[in-house]
Structure 1
Amino acid sequence: MKNQAAKSTTGLDVLQHCLGPAAGAWPQANGRLMHGTEPLTEWLKRSGQSTPAYVYHLAAIDRQVQAVRAVLPADLHLHYAIKANPHPEIIQHLSRQVDGFDCASLAEMQQVVAIAPDKSAQASIAGPAKSDDELIFAISYGILINVESANELTRIWGLAAEKGKRARVALRINPPFEVKGSGMKMGGGARPFGIDSEDIPALIRHWQANTSEWIDLAGFHLYTGSQNRDATALGAGFRAALDLIIELSQFCDFTPRHLNLGGGFGVVYHPRDAPLDLAALQPVLHEISATAQGLWPGVRLNLELGRYLVASAGIYLTRIVDKKTSRGKTYLLCDGGMHHHLALSGNLGQILRRNWPIVAIDQLNAPCIHKVDLAGPLCTPLDVLGQNQELPQLAVGDLIGVLQSGAYGLSASPNGFLSRPTCGEYFFK
């Protein structure tokens, strides 16, 4: 696949490689992205919609969910991590396809209760420094709380006692290992996330002896990292996570009823990167499920995915406002920038900034033989859309599309920066 990606010379090649099976959800004709029977560019003009804008094809989400379901055992439940994209349209669409939701804030929990109340019992909240309002809401609606510290468990106990309702909790484990290949590591070493694994036994024993009246300890949560496209490393991480949970449970004579092993499936952001081989994960996922069910019959085993389900469903559109040459370098200056799409600038977890997959949406068949820099409208050198980006010959007024923008896009960006207006979000089925 790496060799195939290296030969990609058109926007269509980039789109097909980066989006994989989800590329087929984006209609194309004569080298142009389409909306129904008309070019997307013409639809924007005719409907009076301006750029910058995010456009989403929900059918791409369907294809991603189907691809994941194809490798999951029947008793491994699929959850959506709302933080990837909390738009109500996304939550509504996924509520019919996933088994539950994982939240990271009060607002996300409120969205689940409002949009998919039947999934409230299969929702959870994670994150350090949870507020009392978040904990009270979770207790009130029976949402599982992934506990990040001993102090937090004490707070939950007190709030549950005040409400007169037992809190459903899982202990989030900070394991003694990291998973190779994760873009952002969230486990191993000293972390703000979770409880160090060596402290778990004492906490369970304390709960068993003192706090069972208001605490329903359902099991464990373990999330080691995100944006991992290495199936071998992911599989090893899942095995290591289950082995650790088995060791802790046996040591404490505790029978878990709930296990969340995280997710972290990575997507292709760069045309020369190889995609995650889902099929290679199928054996280990089935093995883990069978092992868990053999030890604890009826245990609920969850896999939480965010980015992997929704990234390919979104494209960020921006229009070229100016074109200039500065000391031999060609710049395309666009009406969109880091205030709408922070990750483009490299400010969302990238140690070294790398170009995103960007295509000219009306020239998908044209060879990408011109190297240009792309910048936004903000008066800061950080407002970078692309550097030495390979694109066709473009002119003022042309539209470019940033692929894989359905996750951590508008909601993860500083929309108020420099008091610039926000951008539209348009949903197609």
Structure 2
Amino acid sequence: MNPIAPKHAFLDTFAENGNELMVGGTSLSRLAERVGQTPFYAYDRQALTRRMQQLRQAMPPELKIHYAMKANPMPAVVQHMATLADGFDLASADEMKVALDTPMPAEHISFAGPGKRPQELSQAIAAGVTINIESAHELECIGKQCENLGVNAKVAVRINPAFELKASGMKMGGGAKQFGIDEEQVPVILQRIKTLDLQFQGFHIYSGSQNLKADSIIEAQQKSLQLAANLSPLCPSPIRKLNIGGGFGIPYFPGDAPLAIEQVGNALASELVLTRQSLAEAEIIIELGRYLVGEAGIYVTRILDKKISRGQTFLVVDGGLHHHLAASGNFGQVIRKNYPVAIGNKMGVQELETVNIVGPLCTPLDILADKMTLPKAEIGDLVVIFQSGAYGYTASPSKFLSQPDAREVLV
């Protein structure tokens, strides 16, 4: 049997009042009435603020922290993050529009992605955001766009390093990758940037994500800083911005231990002392998405039916993989594991039962919880999936089987 949820998954982020989960000071049942429907995602504003405060306390004071919008591009969340982060990193022109609607200056926004369309490049050049170059072809496109627009683009080189971020959920460096320019090819790219007379900003080195091992992150950060220092003499101008990526993970499953960010911060502080000798003008940046917003969000869905099939109890809910692909186990998991789940309006109920929670879709993949022991629930109760603030709604096939949309709220 699976436990209800690992305690770290939500009790440090969300409070309880009697049987009710509290979100942003509001009971879950009242919040559901306010939203007007289920399913919905709710993001806790205070939890976002606390996470950034905790991170800044652990990191070197001179370090710049950027929010990777792809983790959660909801406009209200991005607006709030604009008051907390030092910059944004985005992955599409639509994300750029959301970012530019906030008070965040364009000079603190960067644009990454291996397949930027010509129109997206021209939009980024016109906006004045930094474009992270992912290929030689993309660089030539930027050069032509600058001629057409009469504007000089701000560019950084995204490097595909020879090393990887060990123990990562997703590896984005250290081999043949669609991301960035292989480090051995970077000198030629730097010379071409100089020939094109573009505004060189620096480097973007992102080698992996969803990592809970402090030693792995420390090693990758040290190698990223050293790689930039080695390339510095070849740059067309001094490095102004050095984005050493992120990769900070959050715990999802029983046995996951939170990342020891103090250990990471202490090691990075020591490394930056050495870095200043060779990269005196560089602004050192880490880029985080999931770590900043993942634990601040929940997905809420209502029980439509309760049925028994050959001795197993099934709770059929009005949400599913079309809204939360990751919780269904179909977003990168090799072996499906349950996200932390609760019956949000029966938090204090002692009577338990083992259930399967499934969505309304006509596919056996639509599973939100498999054989979990939870407070005994009935039709109309609210199921809550924690750790849902990142890669939730926008990372899911929301049009699959033409089901109703979910809503999102920041509280």
**Aligned counterparts, 1:209-220, within 5 A:** 210-212=195-197, 215-220=198-203
Separation (CA, whole Å) in 2 of partners of 1:398 and 1:170: 50
Corresponding position of 1:34: 22
Residues 326 and 126 from structure 1, CA distance in 2 versus in 1: closer, same or farther, beyond 3 angstroms?
same
For residue 147 of structure 2, the aligned residue among 140, 161, 182 is: 161
Separation (CA, whole Å) in 2 of partners of 1:42 and 1:122: 38
State the 1:427 CA deviation.
2.2
Corresponding position of 2:365: 382
Deviations 1:9-30 (A, max 9, x none): 556xx3x411474x1xx33212
Deviations 1:77-136 (A, max 9, x none): 0110011111111011111111110010001111111222x4211000000110111111
Corresponding position of 1:194: 180
For residue 400 of structure 1, the aligned residue among 383, 386, 399 is: 383
Q: Give yes or no for the alignment of 1:344 onto 2:327.
A: yes
Residues 328 and 347 from structure 1, CA distance in 2 versus in 1: closer, same or farther, beyond 3 angstroms?
same
For residue 9 of structure 2, the aligned residue among 4, 10, 18 is: 18
Separation (CA, whole Å) in 2 of partners of 1:164 and 1:420: 47
**Aligned counterparts, 1:239-254, within 5 A:** 239-250=222-233
For residue 103 of structure 1, the aligned residue among 87, 90, 95 is: 90
State the 1:254 CA deviation.
6.0
Separation (CA, whole Å) in 2 of partners of 1:409 and 1:367: 30
Corresponding position of 2:137: 151
State the 1:299 CA deviation.
1.0
Separation (CA, whole Å) in 1 of partners of 2:188 and 2:227: 15
Corresponding position of 1:358: 341
Separation (CA, whole Å) in 1 of partners of 2:159 and 2:377: 50
Corresponding position of 2:267: 284
For residue 284 of structure 2, the aligned residue among 281, 296, 301 is: 301
Verify the 8 A CA contact 2:108 2:129 in the aligned structure 1: yes
**Aligned counterparts, 1:35-54, within 5 A:** 39-45=27-33, 47=34, 49-54=36-41
Stretch of structure 1 that moved more, 237-246 or 35-44: 35-44
What TM-score does the superposition give when structure 2 sets the normalisation length? 0.95
Q: Let me know the Cα RMSD of the aligned residues.
A: 2.0
Separation (CA, whole Å) in 1 of partners of 2:302 and 2:324: 14
State the 1:253 CA deviation.
8.1
What TM-score does the superposition give when structure 1 sets the normalisation length? 0.91
Stretch of structure 1 that moved more, 270-279 or 229-238: 270-279
Residues 71 and 321 from structure 1, CA distance in 2 versus in 1: closer, same or farther, beyond 3 angstroms?
same
State the 1:377 CA deviation.
0.2
Residues 267 and 241 from structure 1, CA distance in 2 versus in 1: closer, same or farther, beyond 3 angstroms?
same
Q: Give yes or no for the alignment of 1:321 onto 2:304.
A: yes
Verify the 8 A CA contact 1:9 1:368 in the aligned structure 2: no
State the 1:298 CA deviation.
2.5
Q: Letter of the 2:222 partner, please give it.
A: R
Partner of 2:193, secondary structure, is helix
Q: Give yes or no for the alignment of 1:273 onto 2:256.
A: yes
After TM superposition, what 4+ stretches of structure 1 lie above 6 angstroms from structure 2?
none
Separation (CA, whole Å) in 1 of partners of 2:207 and 2:351: 38
Q: Letter of the 1:152 partner, please give it.
A: E
State the 1:263 CA deviation.
0.4
Separation (CA, whole Å) in 1 of partners of 2:57 and 2:282: 21
State the 1:264 CA deviation.
1.1
Percent of residue pairs bearing the same amino acid type: 42
State the 1:73 CA deviation.
1.5
Deviations 1:28-71 (A, max 9, x none): 212421357763214424x4722111122111101110111111
Partner of 2:275, secondary structure, is helix
Partner of 1:166, secondary structure, is coil
Q: How many residues align?
A: 411
For structure 2, the residue ranges without an aligned partner over 5 or more in a row are none
Q: Letter of the 2:396 partner, please give it.
A: S
Corresponding position of 1:3: none
Partner of 1:115, secondary structure, is coil
Separation (CA, whole Å) in 1 of partners of 2:326 and 2:316: 18
Corresponding position of 1:121: 107
Separation (CA, whole Å) in 1 of partners of 2:23 and 2:326: 26
State the 1:385 CA deviation.
0.6
Partner of 1:275, secondary structure, is coil
Corresponding position of 1:83: 70
State the 1:358 CA deviation.
0.5
Stretch of structure 1 that moved more, 317-326 or 61-70: 317-326
Q: Letter of the 1:32 partner, please give it.
A: E
Partner of 1:290, secondary structure, is helix
Q: Letter of the 1:142 partner, please give it.
A: G
